A and B are shown apart, each in its own frame.
Chain A
Amino acid sequence: MYKRALVPLDGSMVAEAIVPFILEIAGPLDMEVALLRVLIPVPPIVMEGSRHVIVEDVEKIRKDAEEYLRSVAAGLRGRGVRVTVQARFGDPVAEILAGAREVEADLIAMSTHGRGGLGRLLFGSVAEAVLRQAEIPVFMMRQTKAQVAARAAWEAVR
């Protein structure tokens, strides 16, 4: 049914909460998982009255992101799921959609922070924009910080 799922992660616990669900559906369906981290580029910062220009170390940031993705990937591989990782720079929504096209994903699976009302108005929602624009099905799981914390605590106790 599905061959390859793109899973965008932003480094937060909330985003990672989708991983158990992926395991549950990827295992039986023999699905491949493509992990993606989108990095938002920061323009060089010039300090007034100083000759220094702060330039972001792009390569280091990319390496860190890939390192992070590989740690998540290791967990999935341990359960017998095929995983690829990639890090991209740019606008999260555009890069998620581009990343999905590139790996020929037929499903995007992600968590949403589930902000509503004013919070949504102010911060916008990457998940909602992806949901609107994606041509392929989108699997979405709403997670609040409290839920994630509760689960982590529960797992620590077990």
Chain B
Amino acid sequence: MTRRLLHPSDFSRASGAAFKKAIEMAKAGRAELMVVHVVSPVLPMAAGDGYVSPKMYEEITASTRAWAQKQLDKLLAKAKQAGVRAKGFVLEGSAHEQIARFARSKHTDLLVMGTHGRSGLAKLFLGSVAGRVVAAAPCPVLTVRGR
């Protein structure tokens, strides 16, 4: 049975639909829910000579992580309200790699994530994190189309 559910979120509406499903499934299976958000490394774009001091870089990174943590806490509060044991993690790096690695290290039984359902050109350029996660994940993946 499913004991450990992993829900990667980018805090978008597409992720919201998957979050609801994840809560529902965690509740039905009395599973533990892990919510992760992956922040991509900051690429500073500075005006002028393009120099960004290490201190400023630190600050940008810290504020991104702080924002992610805040969004994550909101989701965790919602999970708690629904009576689901949940933990949150902020990861950094390439989204699908980090998600797959995390799932492997925590031995999750199921991944529940949203898809944006992009098609045509947008799909070609933006790719699909969900598609790549399916190809790299060590466990089954349930994808939920955001609306």
Q: Hey, which bits of chain A sit against chain B, CB under 8 A?
A: 1, 21, 24, 112, 114-116, 120, 125, 127-128, 131-142
Contact = CB atoms under 8 A, between A and B. Distances in A.
Residue of A24, A112, A120, A137 most packed against chain B (CB within 10 A): A137
A132 B123 contact: yes
Interface residues of B, number: 23
A138 B142 contact: yes
B145 interface: yes
Contacts of A116: 135-136
A132 B115 contact: yes
A134 B145 contact: yes
Contact of A131 (B1, B134, B140): B134
Residue of B115, B117, B130, B131 most packed against chain A (CB within 10 A): B131
A148 to B, nearest CB: 15
B91 interface: no
Contacts of A138: 142-143
A125 B135 CA distance: 10
B119 A131 contact: no
Q: Nearest 10 CB-CB pairs, A to B?
A: A141-B140, A128-B131, A138-B143, A137-B144, A140-B141, A139-B142, A140-B134, A116-B135, A131-B143, A114-B135
B118 interface: yes
Given A1-B25, A137-B143, A141-B140, A132 B135 contact: no
Contacts of A139: 140-142
17 contacts: A1-B24, A1-B25, A24-B1, A115-B135, A116-B135, A116-B136, A120-B135, A131-B130, A131-B134, A131-B143, A132-B117, A132-B119, A132-B128, A134-B145, A137-B142, A139-B140, A140-B140
